[in-house]
Amino acid sequence: MRSIVVIVALLVTMIFAVCCGSGDEYINVKDVTMRLNGENATFELNYSLDTFTRLYVLALGCRYLEPELLSFLGSYRNVKLLKADINGAALQVKNAGKYNGGYYLFDSKPLGSRTKPLNRGVAKFTVVYPEGRVYTFYNVTCTQSVFCRASSLNRTLN
């Protein structure tokens, strides 16, 4: 009986390895929201998973997805996964923007890992400013170059 369980587990693992070669094959990022907060930015990703990956995550949790989610923002340093589930994730990037003359400047960065940038565009990319302004961009492969005014509260906290 034990050998049957071991064989089934081995087969499932091999099928999973074959079906899930790289992250862009089993994670389809639909839209991204970038929320600016001082020099930091929080990225909220909404995605869909292929059927097998979805079942795997339901059974074993999102721990397996963490490297792929972090590599989605591979051009940034200091990326931290805040939360993840089968439909989306939130990632925080510390020091994503640079302070310059009363403004935080956020340079454009390619989405995807440093060695393998995203090859197909994200359908919708939204930037939410601290004061509530919202700008939306469509079919993007990189973050947008944006800036926002630094409030005196943000400068004293950072």
Alpha carbon distances (Å) from 5 to 28, 52, 154: 32, 19, 56
**26 within 8 A of 49, measured Cβ to Cβ:** yes
Torsion angle (degrees, nearest 10) of CA 97, 98, 99, 101:
-110
Distance in angstroms (rounded) separating the CA atoms of residues 4 and 139: 47
Expressed as residue numbers, the domain containing 48 is 2-157
**Tens-binned pLDDT, residue by residue, of the chain (158 aa):** 667 765 656 556 655 554 544 445 788 999 999 999 999 999 999 999 998 888 888 888 888 889 999 999 999 999 999 999 999 999 999 999 999 999 999 999 999 887 788 888 999 999 999 999 999 999 999 999 999 998 755 444 44
Q: For residue 59, what are its two tokens?
A: 């059974």
Q: How many CA within 13 A on the CB side of residue 118?
A: 24
pLDDT for the residue 151: 77
pLDDT for the residue 7: 63
Give the residues across from 112 on adjacent strands.
73, 117
- Does pTM surpass 0.85? no
Q: Please tell me the total count of domains within the chain.
A: 1
Helices then strands, each counted (H, E), the chain: 5, 9
Of 49, 79, 76, 74, the C-alpha closest to 64 is 49
Q: Which residues, including other chains, have CB under 8 Å from residue 150's CB and lie 6 or more apart?
A: 38, 99, 102, 103, 104
